[in-house]
Structures are given as structure tokens and as C-alpha cells.
Chains A and B, each alone.
Chain A
Amino acid sequence: MEKFLQFVFDGLSVGSVYSLLALGLVIIYRGTGHLNFAQGEMALFATYVVYQMGEWGLPIGLALVIGLAVGFAVGAVAEVTLIRPISKKSPFAVFIVTIGLFQLLNWMDGAIWGDQLLPNSGVGSNQKTFPTLFPSGNDDFISIFGAAWRLKYLGVLVLVLLITGALFLVFNKTRFGLAMRAVASNAESAKLVGIRTNTVLMVSWGLAASIGALGGVVFAGINGNVNLGLMFTVFIYGSAAATLGGFDSPGGAVIAGLAIGVIENLAAGYFQEWVGQELKLGVAFVVNLVVLMVKPSGLFGTAKVERV
């Protein structure tokens, strides 16, 4: 029981990071029907910015706000300058451009901050570990049935649930949310009734990128450092979560993200001999594959009917 709970808690914590990435993917997909392969790298850039703010001595709260703003800017600028014009050409062109963005952002991170693990205390960083949003000392945990739930992990989960709740309110209770849903359902008609679709799309991308950025910061906090490959696997898990939850369902993305986090930790924990740490990623791969084969719309998504 103790072991089981421990795996579940750990799973929920990393799962919440996957949820954030998946939320970003879903918001963009709902708005434009594109899959943003650069989602993880946009988040990574913002994470590096937060690290840099920490280097300059800013408290994590303020650094996070700046990081999210940078994330928003990166997403919005990418949509306006690249995605919008190229999406008139072909879906394949959009895919290639997002791959180009992926590569470009990853290269920029390396060019600005170098390719070693950061913070790299003693060599060039003032910080010992990547700043965490929540208390992260050795004693900061609550114990439930003997399993320890560290506050920094618990905090992440609470944060994700709060964000999801806030997004739910924005989507369903505000004028802007209504506009977003209108654009998602039919961009042409939305334009005809006077919705500024361009603004909506720009804000969607910005929002998605900054939610992803939050995921990046949180994950770097759990990890203790940031490096160029940080978001590769997280992106895969995030995409698996979005696939499982259904690409047009934000709630589904969050539930699926948490579920995948728990499943991979249980699998790696209970089948240590077989799965272990190496094959954890296999969970994401299998989920992606099976869901897309059996039920491409995911658990909570709307099935797409294709007219031939």
C-alpha cells in the first residue's frame, strides 16, 4: 500500500507536467487544427529565461511571471509571423515549419546558455539547483499512510488543477472563451459574425506556449536542472496525453496526462525487472500507437467524420 501510494504520488506529479504540455497542444489544435511540434522547445526557451532571471537574483515568483510572458510572446510571434502565412500552403508545410522552429529554438538555447546542465554551480551559476515554486527542503512533505508526498510535488499537482479550473472558466464563462470556441468550431463563420479570428489565434498560441512554459519550469524544478534535451521526452508524454484524452478536449488532456504519469510509474515500479527506468518511454509510445489505431479521437475527444 505504502509503495503503491508512493508510485501514485510520484506519477501524479510528473503526470501534471505532461498535462500542462498536453493542454498547450490541445489549445492550439482546437484553434487551428495544427500539431505544434515546437511546443516543448518553446517551453524550454521560457524555462531557460526563468533560470536566467534566477541568476540575476530575481525571486522565483517574479521570474516565473517574466518566463510566462516570454513564453506567450514566443508563441504569439511564431503564430503571426510563421504559422499563419504558411498554413495557407499545406499541412505538410506547417509540420516542417514547426520542426524548423523546434530546431531553431533548441539551437538558440544552446547558443545562449551553452549545452551543459544548468545550474552548473561553481562553473558559471550562482544557483545550486533550479528554483522550485514550493518548499523543497528535506522535511517538507506530508505523509499519507506512510507514503511521503513532497510539498514541491504536491504543489505542482494543485497548481495544475487550479490552472485547468481557470482555463475551464475562461473557455466556458468569458466572451473570449466563447470566441475561441467559435473559431475552433468554424473559423469562417466566426469571422462572419465579427470575431477577430486572427487575435483569437494569436492569443491561443501565446496561451498554449505559456502554459507549456509553466510545465517546463515546474519540470526543471522537479529535475533540479535544465538542459537542452529536457523537453524531448516530456513532449512525447504530453503528446501521448493529448492523444489519449482526445486532441480537442482540454479536460481529457489533463486526466490523460495524470493517468499516463501514474501508469508509467506503476509499470516502472512494479515491473522493475522488465520495464525499469529505460522502458518508461515505451509506455508513451504504446499509448500513442494503440489509441491512434483503435480510437483515434481519444477517450474524451469528438470523433471526426471524414467526407470523401
Chain B
Amino acid sequence: MRSLITIREGGPGHWALRVVATVVLAAVMLWIPTQGSNGMMTEATEALTLMSAAMALNLVLGYTGQISIGHSAFFGIGAYATGIGVSRWGWSPWLTLPLAFAVAFVVGVLVSFPASRIKGVYLALVTLALALVFPAFVTWRKLTWLTGGGPGLPNDDSVVNTTGFNIGRREGQMRRFEVFGWDPLGDLRSIDAKTPFYFWIAAGVAVIVYVVCRGIVKSRVGRSLVAIRDNETAAAVMGVNLVATKALIFGVSAGLCALPGSVTAIRIGSVSPGISSLTLIGAITFLIVMVIGGAGSLWGPVVGAVLYTFITARTGGWADDDSIPGVLRPLFSWAKTPPGTGIFAVALIVLMFVAPRGVVGVWRQQTPRIVRVVPRLVGVAAAAETAALAAVITTTEVDAEIADSAADSPDGRTDGEGGQIQPRENPLVIQPTSTESVGENQ
């Protein structure tokens, strides 16, 4: 495959690409709360919540290969931790976020122990049961004193009549962030101050979840997760502690999934078992978002959540036939409910056939046609490459140059005799160009 531009990882081109991507992302994040409508801000907040939950699920399912349809329970634990903390105990909502993480972490670790014995779809069965038991559990009469039963929180016994922040009612209660007369965080002073404020909370949580996921995935633990997914026996033989790794990852995933749950409770201002994200519907939505975006990739859940929220919001009113755009009306006018769920169900099935790695997988496959980022060389290959370059550049004094570069890198290969160095062709560098030229000749 030919690409228009080839850039080297870590080189100036790559950095330019990174800067552009970051600027675009930051611009979008600033544009939504400052310029966008309240409706758009709410949608974006939902997308951020959904992507946090899907990223958490991705750790367990995408990277470790442990099927869970029970993450709605962890989400619910987060929502209830905030609900109980704020409305029963009068805590600040900020304090309930660590509480949510901690409680869900413990439950996640507990779930991991059966998961180290139960494999594949059987684990799916157990977690599916967990998703169904959770809403029933919070309505349990022995827990009503804490959870508020079916109607949820806050109720008549609550010390605070909300599960979120008590703001936005009075003008000027929130501080105004201002830079040259412009509020980069959106209008936090008006009656509608809640909307941008909750947007930023959701964004903060999404960033935290992303950073933690990235940290785990790019680390030693992350590599052992993938090893477990690909072949559990082999991973164990290579020295991966299966029980400990699964316990850790289930705990972290559950804890992270509880954070968007907390955000939801803060945002809505009440919790009840009726919130759909707390039920099986929620767990399946997380799964669909993750798989459509791309399981086992960091950006998959992000893309999936944005697509999901955007499309379900745009088609949300389609139960009413008149709101369907003309061209699509014959396709959807028969349906009594909005088509969002159906569209994503079909997309999920089709995607499994044509692109099992999701939207991000397709993106990764197609973008090298335009920009190809050649990975940075490491270890032996890097040293050999330096040597090879040196050999090409200097026609005279070759030996000295190479000796220098070899001395700089600890991995430099030296032949034993007389300190003479044989510059070797690096297969990593040479191969792509050679295969490409073969392709052109044909």
C-alpha cells in the first residue's frame, strides 16, 4: 500500500500531527460549552459519561478478553455511592467520587474471583445475572433505609434534597472564569450554569479514565492483559499471575466505571433503579459502544460513544413520523419507537462480519494510504540503523564513525575481533521500501 506522506514516529512530522490533533480536540471541547446550545452540552455530557463507562469496560473485555455484561451494576454502584453520600450524609459531591471508586473497586475484585474459574460465555452469564440483580438489590426492603427503595434518592429522610450540587439557582453563585472578557469554560454564572459545569465534570472524569486506561494498557500490566486475552495458559507459563492480574483489572475497571455513574447521579440530581444505564440496557449499551468504536483500542470507546450519542439523539424524535427527514421516512415511519437501538444492533452485527475491530480498526487500516507513521526503532535495531546511516553518510573514516555510534549505544553490536564493526542492513527499515518497489514493478 502506497501512502502519500511517510513520517517517522517521534520526528517533527509526527509531532506536528500530534499538535494538530490536540488543538482540534481542545477547540471542540472549548467550543461546546462556550458556543454550543444547552442541548448540545447535555448531549456532549452524555457522550462523555458513556465513553468513560465504555473505556472502563474495554479494560476488562477489549484488552483482557473477559466478557462482562454486568458493568451497569458498577455504574449503578457509583450512582448510588454519590446519591447516598450527598443526600443521606450531606457530603460534598466531590468526595463521593473516590467513595464510588473504592466501593466499586472492592466489588470488582470480588467478581474477579469467580472470573478466574469461569471462562468465556459462562462468565457472560454470571455478569448478565449481576446486571439484572443490581436494580432488584437496591430495591431490597432491608436496604430501603439506605437506598430509598424503588423511588430512589433523594427522599423525605434525606438531609439534602438533591444528589448533586446545589447550584445554579442564584445568580453569581459560581465563580466566573474570564480571560480577556471571554469565559473559556462557558457561562457558569447564569441560571443555566449547571449545564456547562456538569459538562466539565464529565469531561474531567473522561480524561481521568482515559489517562488511567492508557497508563495501564501501555505498561507491563497492559501487556500481560493482552497475553491473558490471547492465550491464558501461555500467559500463565510466561509468569503472569492470572488471579492477581484479573483481580486488579476487574477492580480498576469497576472503579472507573463507577465514576461516570457518579457523574450521572450528580447531573440528574437523583438516583433510582429506573435509570436505564443502571439496568441490563445500560450494560448492553456500553458493550455496543465499545465494540462499534473498536474493542481493544484506547480511542474505540471514545469514537463509539460520540457516534452512539449523536445518532440516538438525532433520531430520538423519530417515533413521530413527521420529524423523520423525507428521504428516510418510508424506511422508518412504521416504527413506533425511535430507531437508534435498531440501527446500532444492525451496525453491531454487520461490523462483526466486515470489521471486527470497529470504527477505529477501519481507520487504522485506511489512514496509512494518506499518512503512514513509521514506528520508532528500539534496542538492537536502533543501534544498527544508526550504524547503517553512518555508513551511508561518511565515505571516509567509516570505522571511526561507527565505533563512536556503537560506543554511544549499549546495544551496539561489535564483532569480537579488533573492535571492527559490520554495519548490517536493518530489515525493519529496508523491507517496506523493497516490497513497495516490487509491488510497483508488477
Query: Which residues of A pack against B, CB within 8 Å?
Result: 34-35, 37, 82, 85-86, 89-93, 95-97, 99-104, 106-108, 110-115, 232-233, 236, 239-240, 243, 273-274, 276, 278-282, 284-285, 288-289, 292-293, 296, 308
CB neighbours (8 Å) of A92 from chain B are: 65, 67
Of the listed stretches B31-39, B137-145, B243-251, B371-379, name the one at the interface; the rest are far from the partner chain.
B137-145
**Residue of A91, A115, A236, A280 most packed against chain B (CB within 10 A):** A236
Pairwise interchain contact A236-B128, C-beta atoms closer than 8 A: yes
Closest chain-B Cβ to A108's Cβ sits at a distance in Å of 7
Pairwise interchain contact A292-B140, C-beta atoms closer than 8 A: no
From A104, A114, A240, A276, contact of B349 by CB (8 A): A104
B335 adjacent to chain A (CB < 8 Å):
yes
CB neighbours (8 Å) of A239 from chain B are: 125, 128-129
Query: Which residues of B pack against A, CB within 8 Å?
Result: 65, 67, 69, 114, 117-118, 120-122, 124-126, 128-130, 132-133, 136-137, 139-142, 233, 280, 284, 287-288, 291, 334-337, 339, 341-342, 344-346, 348-349, 352-353, 356
Closest chain-A Cβ to B241's Cβ sits at a distance in Å of 18
Closest chain-A Cβ to B296's Cβ sits at a distance in Å of 11
Pairwise interchain contact A279-B117, C-beta atoms closer than 8 A: no
CB neighbours (8 Å) of B132 from chain A are: 232-233, 236, 281, 285
A93-B137 contact given A233-B132, A236-B132, CB 8 Å threshold:
no
A284 to B137, CA, bound (A): 13
From A111, A236, A278, contact of B140 by CB (8 A): A278
22 contacts between A and B (CB under 8 A): A34-B121, A35-B124, A82-B349, A85-B353, A91-B120, A92-B65, A99-B288, A103-B284, A103-B341, A107-B345, A111-B335, A111-B339, A114-B336, A115-B336, A236-B129, A236-B132, A273-B141, A276-B140, A278-B136, A285-B129, A289-B129, A292-B114
A89 to B291, CA, bound (A): 16
Pairwise interchain contact A93-B345, C-beta atoms closer than 8 A: no
Determine the main DSSP class of B at the interface with A. Answer: helix
Pairwise interchain contact B336-A111, C-beta atoms closer than 8 A: yes
From A35, A106, A108, A110, contact of B125 by CB (8 A): A35
CB neighbours (8 Å) of B142 from chain A are: 274
CB neighbours (8 Å) of B342 from chain A are: 103-104, 107-108, 111
Kindly report which residue of chain B lies nearest to residue A112, judged by CB atoms.
B336
CB neighbours (8 Å) of B233 from chain A are: 308
Pairwise interchain contact A278-B141, C-beta atoms closer than 8 A: yes
A97-B352 contact given A107-B345, A111-B334, CB 8 Å threshold:
yes
CB neighbours (8 Å) of B136 from chain A are: 278-282
CB neighbours (8 Å) of B126 from chain A are: 285, 288-289, 292
Determine the main DSSP class of A at the interface with B. Answer: helix
From A103, A112, A284, contact of B348 by CB (8 A): A103
A165 to B26, CA, bound (A): 66
Pairwise interchain contact B118-A111, C-beta atoms closer than 8 A: no
From A35, A86, A108, A285, contact of B133 by CB (8 A): A285
Kindly report which residue of chain B lies nearest to residue A247, judged by CB atoms.
B122
Closest chain-A Cβ to B356's Cβ sits at a distance in Å of 6
A90 to B357, CA, bound (A): 13
CB neighbours (8 Å) of B121 from chain A are: 34-35, 37, 91, 95
Pairwise interchain contact B129-A284, C-beta atoms closer than 8 A: yes
Closest chain-A Cβ to B39's Cβ sits at a distance in Å of 23
Known: A107-B337, A278-B139. 17 other contacts (CB 8 A): A34-B121, A86-B352, A95-B124, A96-B291, A99-B287, A103-B348, A110-B337, A110-B341, A111-B336, A114-B336, A236-B129, A279-B140, A288-B125, A288-B126, A289-B126, A293-B117, A308-B233
Closest chain-B Cβ to A167's Cβ sits at a distance in Å of 23
Closest chain-B Cβ to A273's Cβ sits at a distance in Å of 8
A100-B118 contact given A111-B335, A111-B339, A236-B132, CB 8 Å threshold:
no
Closest chain-A Cβ to B254's Cβ sits at a distance in Å of 17
Pairwise interchain contact A293-B287, C-beta atoms closer than 8 A: no
Kindly report which residue of chain B lies nearest to residue A104, judged by CB atoms.
B345
Pairwise interchain contact B129-A281, C-beta atoms closer than 8 A: yes
CB neighbours (8 Å) of A280 from chain B are: 136
Kindly report which residue of chain A lies nearest to residue B280, judged by CB atoms.
A232
Closest chain-A Cβ to B441's Cβ sits at a distance in Å of 35
Give the top 7 A-B pairs by smallest Cβ distance, nearest first: A111-B335, A104-B345, A103-B345, A100-B349, A107-B342, A100-B348, A285-B129
Pairwise interchain contact B118-A296, C-beta atoms closer than 8 A: yes
A167 to B349, CA, bound (A): 32
Pairwise interchain contact A102-B125, C-beta atoms closer than 8 A: no
Closest chain-A Cβ to B286's Cβ sits at a distance in Å of 11
Pairwise interchain contact B349-A97, C-beta atoms closer than 8 A: yes
A37 to B283, CA, bound (A): 14
Pairwise interchain contact A240-B129, C-beta atoms closer than 8 A: yes
CB neighbours (8 Å) of A279 from chain B are: 136-137, 140
Kindly report which residue of chain A lies nearest to residue B122, judged by CB atoms.
A292
Pairwise interchain contact A278-B291, C-beta atoms closer than 8 A: no
Closest chain-A Cβ to B301's Cβ sits at a distance in Å of 15
Closest chain-B Cβ to A276's Cβ sits at a distance in Å of 6
From A89, A114, A281, contact of B356 by CB (8 A): A89
A285 to B131, CA, bound (A): 10
CB neighbours (8 Å) of B280 from chain A are: 232
A168 to B267, CA, bound (A): 56
Closest chain-B Cβ to A244's Cβ sits at a distance in Å of 12
CB neighbours (8 Å) of B335 from chain A are: 111-112
Pairwise interchain contact A110-B336, C-beta atoms closer than 8 A: yes
A296 to B123, CA, bound (A): 11
Kindly report which residue of chain A lies nearest to residue B337, judged by CB atoms.
A110
CB neighbours (8 Å) of B140 from chain A are: 276, 278-279
Closest chain-B Cβ to A213's Cβ sits at a distance in Å of 20
Pairwise interchain contact B117-A292, C-beta atoms closer than 8 A: yes
A292 to B118, CA, bound (A): 6
A74 to B390, CA, bound (A): 68
A97 to B288, CA, bound (A): 11
Kindly report which residue of chain B lies nearest to residue A239, judged by CB atoms.
B125
Closest chain-B Cβ to A136's Cβ sits at a distance in Å of 28
Closest chain-A Cβ to B283's Cβ sits at a distance in Å of 10
Kindly report which residue of chain B lies nearest to residue A228, judged by CB atoms.
B337
**Residue of B129, B142, B345 most packed against chain A (CB within 10 A):** B129
